[in-house]
């Protein structure tokens, strides 16, 4: 996995059911705008509001429709649940699994390391770590990631901490740990999870990003990635133009705002699932103004 991958929103109908027809349309809509891979059942997919059966069918639907690699979210609070979800994702046709840190209960770094090692040893799919402290309250520390990167079936990480100094520290720990290691997928892929710092993260060694913004503005996000290959300064300028919009659809209005903005752009994003609620008039006005600048 490298380049740009959206944590694909899950289209729900107005009654809250998964709209699988719209999901297939969404895969085509986003793929046609230049993304490199797709990430069903991530945070912006509202995966934690879905049943295990729904998650498995969503992954299967995306894998059937997609012509790019599929990195499926399979993380749960417990190891057994995660193993079952990862097996289901493999059966559904996913290419790799993105596994969020165990949450709800407090775990120290030693416990997190043991969890990922056991999972990776059991899984037939390559495993990507996923650290998103804003949602889980759990952070994978750079030293922990460095040690885990030596496991041959732990092949990458989505870092949504959005701290560039910590990102650099993590990158260095990985390099120290993997100097003499060959994983099942080559080098350990470190990806950023915040669209506001995509260009800076690429300069710091990221291979790409798993970005909520890529649902709404896939072409613009891909342009930042592509520009960085030849002109990092131009990439930073392009990225700066997207910061306000990215903040609005993540920190300010979250998934309901993202889906509303996507529908405004003609994307078959569907509706948020309860307890999420549609954005109010003020939020819609602010989002509309930002979309007008896109």
CATH of the domain at 254: 3.20.20.70
What residues are labeled active site? 130, 158
pLDDT tens for 124-148 read 999 999 999 999 999 999 999 999 9
Give the residue numbers of the binding site: 210
Note the pLDDT of residue 163: 87
What range does the domain containing 280 cover?
3-293
Work out how many domains the chain is built from and give that number.
1
Q: How far apart are CA 212 and CA 65, in angstroms?
A: 20
Q: How far apart are CA 55 and CA 41, in angstroms?
A: 6
Which of the 8 DSSP states describes residue 204? Answer: T
Q: Which residues of 1-21 are buried (b: 16+ CB within 10 A; e: fewer)?
A: bbbbbbbbbbbbeeeeebbbe
Note the pLDDT of residue 181: 58
Q: How many residues does the chain have?
A: 294
Note the pLDDT of residue 184: 43
User: Based on C-alpha coordinates, what's the Rg of the chain?
Assistant: 18
Give the residue numbers of the binding site for pyruvate: 210
φ, ψ of residue 128 to 5 degrees: the values are -110, 130
Q: How far apart are CA 69 and CA 262, in angstroms?
A: 22
Note the pLDDT of residue 187: 86
On the question of pLDDT at 31 being above 50, the answer is yes
On the question of pLDDT at 186 being above 70, the answer is no
The candidate with the shortest Cα–Cα distance to 149, out of 127, 124, 164, is 127
Q: How far apart are CA 8 and CA 133, in angstroms?
A: 20
Q: Which of 33-42, 154-163, 203-212 has the lowest mean pLDDT?
A: 154-163
On the question of pLDDT at 183 being above 50, the answer is no
On the question of pLDDT at 217 being above 80, the answer is yes
Note the pLDDT of residue 123: 98
Identify which of 15-19, 162-166, 175-179 has the greatest average pLDDT. Answer: 15-19
The candidate with the shortest Cα–Cα distance to 9, out of 288, 291, 221, 211, is 211
Note the pLDDT of residue 177: 86
φ, ψ of residue 281 to 5 degrees: the values are -60, -40
pLDDT tens for 44-53 read 999 999 999 9
On the question of pLDDT at 185 being above 50, the answer is no
For 205, residues 6+ apart whose C-beta sits below 8 A from its C-beta are 168, 171, 190
Note the pLDDT of residue 229: 96
């Amino acid at each position: 996995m490298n380049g740009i991958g959206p944590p694909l929103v899950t289209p729900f109908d107005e009654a809250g059911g998964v709209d699988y027809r719209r999901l297939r349309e969404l895969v085509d809509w986003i793929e046609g705008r230049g993304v490199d891979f797709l990430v069903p059942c991530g945070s912006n997919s509202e995966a934690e509001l879905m049943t295990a059966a729904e998650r498995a069918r969503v992954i299967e639907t995306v894998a059937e429709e997609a012509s790019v690699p599929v990195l499926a979210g399979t993380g749960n609070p417990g190891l057994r649940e995660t193993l079952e979800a990862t097996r289901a994702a493999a059966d559904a046709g996913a290419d790799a699994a993105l596994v969020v840190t165990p949450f709800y209960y407090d775990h120290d770094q030693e416990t997190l390391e043991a969890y990922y090692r056991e999972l990776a040893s059991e899984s037939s799919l390559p495993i990507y770590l996923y650290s998103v402290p804003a949602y889980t309250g759990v952070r994978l520390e750079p030293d922990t990631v460095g040690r885990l990167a030596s496991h041959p079936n732990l092949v990458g990480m989505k870092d949504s901490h959005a701290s560039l100094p910590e990102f650099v520290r993590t990158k260095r720990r990985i390099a120290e740990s993997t100097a003499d290691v060959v994983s099942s997928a080559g080098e350990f892929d470190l990806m950023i999870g915040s669209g506001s710092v995509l260009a800076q993260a690429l300069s710091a060694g990221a291979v790409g990003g798993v970005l909520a913004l890529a649902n709404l503005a896939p072409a613009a996000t891909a342009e930042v990635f592509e520009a960085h290959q030849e002109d990092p300064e131009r990439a930073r300028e392009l990225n700066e133009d997207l910061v306000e919009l990215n903040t609005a659809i993540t920190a300010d209005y979250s998934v309901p705002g993202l889906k509303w903005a996507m529908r405004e752009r003609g994307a078959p994003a569907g509706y948020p699932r309860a307890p999420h609620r549609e954005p109010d008039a003020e939020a819609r006005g602010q989002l509309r103004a930002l979309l007008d600048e896109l």
